[in-house]
Amino acid sequence: MASQSTTVENQWISKRFLFGTKLPIVYEPVHEKPIENFTDWIRTHQKEWREDLKNHGAILLRGFPVHEALDFQSILYATEEKNLGEFYLGTSPRDQVVKHVFTASELPPHYPIMQHAEMSFLDNPPKLLFFYAEKASEFGGETPLTDLREVYKEIDPKIIKKIETFGIRYRRRYDGPSKKSRFSLWKTKRWDEMFGTTNLEEVKKIADQNRFQLEWFGKDSLTITNEQSGFRIHPEANTIAWHNHSQTFHHQAAVSEVWKIVKRQKTIRSLGVAILLTLLTILKRLAGQKSHDVHVTYGNGEEISVNEMKSISDVFWKHMVAFPWQTGDVLIIDNFSVSHGRLPFTGPRRILVGWSD
Ligand SMILES: [Fe+2]
């Protein structure tokens, strides 16, 4: 992949773009310096990097001496963000590494993770999202990015109108602690893992704070329903972005994704996954929406059709940029403007994550 555009010299940090697109902007050191010099730079150049983040949506920090989770966390501290994440109310299975740093996802390597803004189904999703490539994979495993402001402009106006009118409704079903395994095919974690507790009063409290409606069923299984507007206005830039989890929660989304991945990765495994997932999705569709463990509809309960979902996926893939990770890379994402996902990979890979509310 060729890197393009001009290099802008600014003291000891240079800036450039990958792919000739403006997402992400890449910062690289011109001279080798210890991590402390870089965290000082982040701390003292708030206006400059925040302006770049606002305009481009993501900054890739490449070539800095970020060797472990604590170095990464020192960058999070240097941003002086007030509320660094410690409690994760999202859908991926994650492990805490140090106070504000988690593994990005413990989902198996062949699972694709579709484009989404982090925790967009919450009233207050993270403002900034940080990834760190502790170990880049040998093949695949990119964290593709998409500018959600561009997506909003290009989605079929009929879909935009329906979301404007009705919003988006999510319904997710989770097993409880009586089920020992961490994830099944259509479920990514258990509710006790998500809420971080088995105390039902505590679960109810967190649910109320987030406007989640809870319905218990079976031994200790749980259905969570909630609604969101589906778009979000950037608190500082005032721009509007597509901001919902239709891409990850709709049964059609994964199928559209895996066939696009077959074209991109051209591997036997991706073809196998695509065929298997297509068959399973047909069975799932035949079983009806009541059988879906995650389900997304318009806010009035109307289904988002398969064709509508395909058209949404096409817009994402048109604007998506995917660059191979290099070990030591750090990525800062404006979660109100840019979505992320994960392509399947082989070989060892460890990507860590942090965020600020
Ligand atoms: Fe995510």
Helix ranges (H only) for the chain are: 35-44, 46-56, 69-78, 148-154, 157-166, 191-195, 200-209, 246-249, 251-265, 268-287, 306-319
Provide the whole-model pTM. 0.91
User: How many helices (H) and strands (E) would you count in the chain?
Assistant: 11, 20
Class of 3-147+322-356 in CATH: alpha beta
pLDDT over 80 (residue 188): no
* Pair of tokens at residue 30: 């011109």
Inter-residue contact 189 to 174 (CB < 8 Å): yes
CATH architecture under which domain 150-316 falls: 4-Layer Sandwich (3.60)
Nearest to 312 by CA among 233, 256, 251, 228: 256
Q: What is the pLDDT of residue 5?
A: 40
Q: Which protein residues have a CB closer than 5 Å to ligand 1 (ion)?
A: 118
pLDDT tens, 36-68? 999 999 999 999 999 999 999 999 999 999 999
Q: Residue for token digits 């929660």?
A: 249
Of the chain, the percentage scoring pLDDT greater than 90 comes to 79
pLDDT tens, 211-245? 999 999 999 999 999 999 999 999 999 999 999 99
CA of 335 to the centre of ligand 1 (A): 10
* Pair of tokens at residue 211: 């406007």
CA of 4 to the centre of ligand 1 (A): 28
Nearest to 297 by CA among 308, 281, 287: 308
Q: How confident is the model at residue 181 (pLDDT cuts 50, 70, 90)?
A: low
H or E element in which residue 240 lies: strand 240-242
CA of 30 to the centre of ligand 1 (A): 31
* Residue ranges, CATH 3.60.130.10, the chain: 3-147+322-356, 150-316
